[in-house]
Amino acid sequence: MNASVRLGVSSLRAHRRRFAGTFLAVFLGVAFLAGTLVMGDTLRAGFDSMFGNATSGTDAVVRSADAITTPGESQGVRQPIATDLVGTIEKVPGVAAAVPDIQGAGQLLGADGDPIGGQGPPTLAGNWITDPELNPYQLAEGRAPRKSGEVVVNRGTAEKGDLKIGDTTTLRTPDPVRVTIVGLATFGGEDGMAQVTFTGMTVADAEKYLTARPGEAASIQVRAGPGVSQRELVDRLTPALPKGVEAITGQESAEENNEMISSQFLSIFTLFLLVFSGIALLVATFSIHNTFAIVVAQRTRENALLRALGASRRQVTVTTLVEATAVAVTASLAGLVGGIGIAAGLQALFPAIGFPFPEGELVVKALSLALPLAVGIVVCLGSALLPAVRAGRTAPLAALRETAVDTSGASRLRAVTGTGLVALALALTLAGVLVSPSVWLAGAGAVLALVAFVVLGPVASATAVRILGSPLDRLRGVTGVLARQGALRSPKRTAATASALMIGVAVVSLFTVFGASLKATMDQTVSRSFAGDVAVSAPSFGAGGSGLSPRLAGAVQELPQVNTAVGLGRGVAEVDGKGRALTVTDPVALERTFDLGRIDGSLRDLGTDGIAITEKEADRQHLTTGSKAHLTFTDGRKETFTVRAVYGQSELAGDYVITRAAWAPHRTQDSDTLVAVTFKDGVSTDAGKAAVEKAAARYGNPEVQTRDEYAQSSAGGIDMMLTLVYALLALAVVIALLGIANTLTLAIHERTRELGLLRAVGQTRSQLRAMVRWESVLVAAFGTAGGLALGAFLGWVLVRASDGASDSAFAFAMPPAQLVVVALVGLAAGALAGLRPARRAARLDVLRAIATE
């Protein structure tokens, strides 16, 4: 064993350049994985500290005990509680102070008139709590609001909107309110809570603009007297509270807020990065395996001599694994250092691009170092295992032969196995997306399809290279023929080299197809459901933004150019025990502006006790026209509604529709998410849009868009997502490039004599360089073509699986222009990967190359 170790170390030292590509592949994969884990730990610790500092003076929070959670939301909606409970709470022994906390949506306009924030994280407004220990925000500059119209905003919001103390701006609540900034605040020592914006008002203004009626608050913050613990305070408060109201400790409240951030953002964000780390390491696996396979093939005679001198199979295998271990350990350790550097760089980068994560030192946990180190070592050793076993099987008599080039891979067994896997993958996938919709079945088929592509690669490579390389015969003459023959000399090697790039291109193509399908789905949804001419919307998505004033639709309706203007509001209630989102609107105007499909019953007769639902929800809840539906609202009141209409389509109108009169007794802060407008006959789109924009300017200046513009803006987040995906997948493409370059470089060592003979019979250096470059392009073309086919197939699977798992109908779209760009990038990557090997080949000394054995 010691001899094997010494021999492996000596061989690695003598041929260390051969493993440079392997080292870089492991390094990049481990660095990205370690950086993701370290950044996740750092962000969690930062938010933990920030929430802890912000709520350190709050010992208990009194709030409604029940919350209604709708599908797709992690945080439920709680009913407000009466502020007169403050007097009751203050009488409880051990209570030092209690203040109401009124919260709602409020979006400030910046100095340029554009809304600040709202792109996901919420824009909050509330009363400014004068007790500094109970207020999570600390006054950093200026003073607290004293009269109506004065506000304090968090410093990050002011900087983003180019606002300062003394400036007057508009606060959307959603009704526009003119406010003057009199103070700037911090949250837990930071300029804000990530991208959440906050505006603090007087209690009177908060009650006027953020609540449905005076005397209500989201919660009551309580501070304990000396010597009273948080748990003891909660135990004392609980008996004094009315039914439906609960008390939790300040620590529990902080943990809930932190968990909300973690579940809604951090967990998804880190999982997203971990997926791409896995893709990068999968690509690296092919590159590493190919490197060791070539090295073992080139050292056939050397290993045979060791066997002839008495080395056992195990010793030869261990010698190869020692080299792999040395590369794995050194590259993984270097990757850990690189990962910490990546985390530090991201920590500095995010605030620079406007996403202020909490400041603090990097948090490096043992698991965040041990896991990437173990993964890097396992990936490297696992990739080298089969070549090492193959090296151990080298026969002693192989020392008497010329070094053979591995031409295996296109065997009948491989072809039959690969074809069987393809058939099974298709069967599972089609069953999962067409016969019996199942995401798990479709996912299993997709994974099996990837395996089938890898197995069939060597079989398909010969045919594919001949077809893809045929134009080279005419375009490049003898150089093209030699490049094609070079790529054909080892089908297994060509397939293994191309597989790394194939996976990268497949994932890029998958997201490209899925992104185009999402856009087509959104366009289809708007075209099918929205029959209006223009849409008025707040430029936000997710939980952000303050919405639109419910009075806006009425103001637009009065315009002489307008036929119908209908606002869509949002409510929440439990329908027969299950949380559901309600669309609050004028159902008559809704029917005129939206295509709702076939309608059973009438939308005109909903009144204050009627409800309209979609066919899917009616089937799910076993309801028909005339059925009774029991609704429980956030205020705790239970009412029985009669189903008076069942309609077909729900994409924009929602699954449940009630009138504004029915919602009014239960509403909190009222707002619309969309106002759809149709013009009278003869009114042009430009003239009508200009009139609506003028009317909307009085309500916070929301965006007015044509139907096509609305569809495009609704899908705007998809392009941002794809940009991030492409940036992250660049790492996988870089690793694939390293694999191609490393394979060609090692192949040049193997073909030294062949290249020397070509130079001796008249091939110029430029022709030799071109031959190697075109060989690289052919390998990349094979990988790119396979990746495009696999990615398009997986994209179709993902779209169909999403269609089966969702109530909405997904449209499948193939974006030819984007896929052509992906193909060109793949080919360019091949040309780039071949530059260095081509230069090295051209520098070979002709006589020495011919003399090489």
Angle subtended at Cα 120 by Cα 118 and Cα 122, rounded to the nearest 5 degrees: 60
Structure-block tokens of residue 199: 């505006």
Higher local confidence (pLDDT), 472 or 533 = 533
Q: At what angle do helices 752-760 and 716-750 cross, to 10 degrees?
A: 80
Q: Is the pLDDT confidence value at 183 over 50?
A: yes
pLDDT for the residue 541: 41
pLDDT of residue 703: 85
* pLDDT average, residue stretch 665-673: 84
Average pLDDT, the chain: 80
d(CA 374, CA 182): 55
More confident residue, 526 or 252: 252
Instruction: Quote the CA–CA distance of 477 and 749 in Å, as a whole number.
Output: 25
Q: Is 396 exposed, middle or buried (0-12, 13-18, 19+ CB in 10 A)?
A: middle
pLDDT digits (tens, 9 = 90+) for 123-180: 889 999 999 889 889 999 999 999 999 999 999 889 888 999 999 999 988 888 999 9
Residue 408, burial from CB neighbour count under 10 angstroms (0-12, 13-18, 19+): exposed
Share of the chain above pLDDT 70, in %: 84
Token representation of residue 524 = 């289809």
* Confidence bin at 11 (pLDDT 50/70/90): low
H helices present in 476-586, as ranges: 478-488, 491-529, 552-557
Count CB neighbours of 592 within 10 A.
Answer: 16
Output the pLDDT for position 404.
47
The per-residue pLDDT for 44 is: 80
Structure tokens at 612: 């309209």
Give the domain ranges of the chain: 1-58+250-404, 59-249, 457-534+708-853, 550-699
| pLDDT at residue 542, rounded to an integer | 41
At residue 397 the predicted structure's pLDDT band, cuts being 50, 70 and 90, is low
* Bridge-based pairing state of the strands 534-537 and 703-706: antiparallel
pTM of this structure: 0.74
Higher pLDDT, 178 or 803: 178
Percent of the chain topping pLDDT 90: 18
Residues with Cβ within 8 Å of residue 247, at least 6 apart in sequence: 60, 61, 62, 222, 233, 234, 237, 238, 241
- At residue 80, the pLDDT reads 87
**In the structure encoding, which two tokens stand for residue 83, read together?**
């502020």
pLDDT above 50: residue 341: yes
Q: At what angle do helices 765-805 and 716-750 cross, to 10 degrees?
A: 140
Categorize the per-residue pLDDT at 849 as very low, low, confident or very high, splitting at 50, 70 and 90.
low
Please give the residue that has the higher pLDDT: either 238 or 385: 238
Nearest to 773 by CA among 841, 681, 716: 841
d(CA 331, CA 350): 28
CA angle 661, 667, 668 (to 5 degrees): 155
pLDDT band at 612 (very low <50, low <70, confident <90, very high): very high
Helix or strand holding residue 157 (H, E):
helix 155-160
